[in-house]
Structure 1
């Protein structure tokens, strides 16, 4: 399905997929300004448009218990919370005016509380909050003052909720989200000036991290041990976007180049694993039925594409 921007059809659409807490998908888009859009993934209809207080870096979806999902909007001022059903702001002055937040992730703690974590410009911090109440749960210190450019989260096989963040020098640090305690030693990646960090929990109790730097260096690590997985494939500086998801038992990376297309690669080997998809800036979501949703921005501004990938029948 192809989505076209409204009311400005020439606006750049950068997709972001999240869960709605009931097994469904939330499809969002951002662009070059302060706007966030939510779309109906079944019909392509624009559901709402939210204009934030500052330019938007990234968005993610949190699902607090006993209420509907919230969209966490990372801006150059902090994090804004938006009701995912209505597109209206859920105000909190402290979250919205804390620091430049480059990236944001959401998850659920073992006690059932949903959290929001943001990668901050100053003091090498990852700020964490309770998604429903905006109560502070962090920050998570990185022990250096380099800006943190990317953050991701996942639940490990033993139930530990892991937050991983990468600074602009390519150093990844991991924390237990429930205790704020470090997990393992810092991972010194092969890349430099990281652009994106993603995580993927795979069947068979395997958990991986993958990052992409500004030179197109793709690196993967075991999220628990920190050991490198495979060698860095040669992608080149035109590789600018990355997303991860599982299709059946296979972990996949979706990597876009400037102007497209979006390549498909095996997350373990790094080898090509399918036909490229049109578009750029991929976002992926593993679905409960084993299928995978992939969204890409159109190579032309004002478009976004949504694909549902399924496991081929035997």
Structure 2
């Protein structure tokens, strides 16, 4: 099966300004991979490194599986046991691996814009995928969330009512999800959270913003819960975890305000009993584990498009 033409840039750093046709093509290709239709030798002989300077479970493992299923040689870089502990910069680390013949780098970093900064210094033929940088972007998470929504609700996003709940201010996932939803034509995008956790940098442009979760839930087709980014958060932004759960935690009773066939999503890791209850996270409307599964297919589509294109 030939990959559709996607008009991707050389690197996937963000979903900002990607055309709808490009997103649709990637999602169609990812769906084919999810159904098991792919060439196990597509990336034969190509070395891919997961260059992670920040902890990860789902993103790192799914990129590793994605590259392996396409036949790539995969190197998993662990900053905690590398020369970065001796003072080597991220760029020097990348350039040394590049000198060994690595062509694809999947990079996670704690600093905003770090992956774009690295991309300015790589050789011709080297490609980078942003696996999450600071609070800026997490494009493949945005893509896998859109694939999950597409499977559940169909390819026409224009009629969907989608609610994003929680710590948008510190969430690279939320930024990529909102960019993708806009590009795919979603008219009714709602965002809900405490004022202290909502950004004022233009991220919420075109969204219906609320601080009342019960009201925001009315009739929505999808609820996208966010993790409280406590490692990036200043003290005092929320009174307590209990207070946050009372105001913004998704419970089974609250979920009844949404459409009867509404779906629930969460990028993980979940703070159970804070953002979402066990009953909802593990319930019949939850697509959380399907998101994880779709992560492999989406990342296969991205790696194939960049490294074969």
User: Taking structure 1 as the reference length, what is the TM-score of the superposition?
Assistant: 0.29
Choose between structure 1 and 2: higher strand proportion. 1
Choose between structure 1 and 2: higher helix proportion. 2
